[in-house]
Homo-oligomer: A and B are copies of this chain.
Amino acid sequence: MKPRAAAPAIRPPPVPSSPARSLADSYGRVRAASERLVAPLSAEDCQAQSMPDASPAKWHLAHVSWFFETFVLERFEPDHRPFDERFRVLFNSYYHGVGAQHPRAERGLVTRPGLVEVLRYRAQIDERVLALLHSAAADGAELRALVTLGLQHEQQHQELLLTDIKHLLSRHPAHPAYARRWPIAAVQPEALRWFAYGASLFDLGHDPAADGAFGFDNETPRHRVWLDAFELASRPVSHGEYRAFIEDGGYLRPELWLSLGWDWVQAGRRRAPLYWQRLGERWHSHTLQGLVEIDDRTPVCHLSYFEADAYARWAGARLPTEAEWERAARALHGPQRGANFADGGVFHPLPNADAVSDEPVQMLGDVWEWTASSYAPYPGYRVAAGAVGEYNGKFMCNQFVLRGGSCATPVGHVRASYRNFFAPEAQWQFSGLRLARDRRD
């Protein structure tokens, strides 16, 4: 992706390019990042669970440590003894292969261990994993693969921790801010343009040469697909464009919606995306910086698949398939310098400050982009052996793929082949959209 000329007032500082780091270095860096995320939160903030889909921040901190304990320490420590054997059930999310799980909807009722004890748990796990990584065992490919998976897993939970806290704070009538208020954005995004791509056979899926060594199993195997010609929009849909959809009766016109989407609109009496509220004449939105007036120039987010799909239909376009998206992403030239990831500390999508670009912008960062593709196994997909095989495959039903990462994603975590997935009614992620359309010849 072509570098964006950072607009200092509104963009996060550029992320320094990663030097080669040892696995132990990466481990320390990722683990510390999780703890930095809870620094602005009280023990109470870390305890509450605002809905079954969300988890308490404390649970996230513990669960990612459980992952290392269960899948790394249990297996590789010569004389393994658990930190607390009850944690095996308490902090197991959904791994039937590991045994029972505490009921998901009751994570917020687990008041013990408290936050302090969970931090102590983290410290001990860190000590023990690092000991392993400095031992002879660290040469083993399986250990390294599992630690790497654990770090990627922890980064995913860093994003969930942010979106879950955002949801929790939204239930408070005062809309407390998680972070400081950002400066007012001053950049007007470029007008939407279309980029064309010809028909072709395309190799879809994780390519270590281009994407880096690590990829989740759901990105594999790389496989051939036929793609018809298509066009892709230069940037994500903005809040202003989405507001026009609302004002044009978007939530009142069944012909714009999938049937399930229309039921969802009616049942919830929905008239705007999650977190929007009308105050007098103007739309505001709950953000991680508190309740703020909506800035038309920023990418729209917190859309369900239903809303993204309805908007695209209204706009005379459609959502891209994930293959189309990945093809376009692979064709980008530049690095992702200046992209808006969690590390920038803004935690909100921003308008793009680039001058007119010769390729799509903001494909990574800012907002996850809903695709038209159901989350399904790639041809030849094999689930990993053992309990870690429950990581991805069993969720391949009634979910849609999102691509590209968001302003809550840790920098360096996403890539062109990365597949995120959520149910079509999910709104609490930073989910937006980018339009596509069939090639007009």
Contact = CB atoms under 8 A, between A and B. Distances in A.
Interface string A46-61: 1110100000001000
A114 interface: yes
A357 interface: no
A373 B397 CA distance: 10
A258 B225 contact: no
Nearest to A375: B374
A47 B50 contact: no
Contacts of A44: 43-44, 46-47, 58, 111-112, 114-115
Contacts of A172: 109-112
Interface string A79-111: 000000010011000101100001000101111
Contact of A109 (B43, B171, B424): B171
Interface residues of A, number: 61
Contacts of A48: 47-48, 108-109, 111
Interface string A396-408: 1110000000000
A261 B379 contact: no
Interface residues of A: mostly helix, strand, loop or mixed?
Answer: mixed
A260 B393 CA distance: 12
Given A106-B171, A258-B395, A374-B374, A112 B224 contact: no
**Which residue of A111, A112, A373, A396 has the most chain B CB atoms within 10 A of its CB atom?**
A111
Query: Oligomeric state, in number of copies?
Result: 4
A201 B174 contact: no
A17 interface: no
Nearest to A257: B394
Given A394-B259, A397-B424, A398-B260, A112 B376 contact: no
A397 B260 CA distance: 7
B259 A395 contact: yes
Contact of A173 (B86, B254, B257, B424): B86
Interface string A202-237: 000000000000000000000111101000000000
Contacts of A257: 394
Contacts of A305: 397
Given A258-B394, A397-B424, A174 B42 contact: no
19 contacts: A42-B112, A43-B47, A44-B44, A44-B115, A47-B48, A47-B111, A48-B48, A86-B173, A94-B259, A97-B255, A106-B171, A111-B168, A228-B380, A260-B397, A260-B398, A261-B397, A305-B397, A306-B397, A372-B376
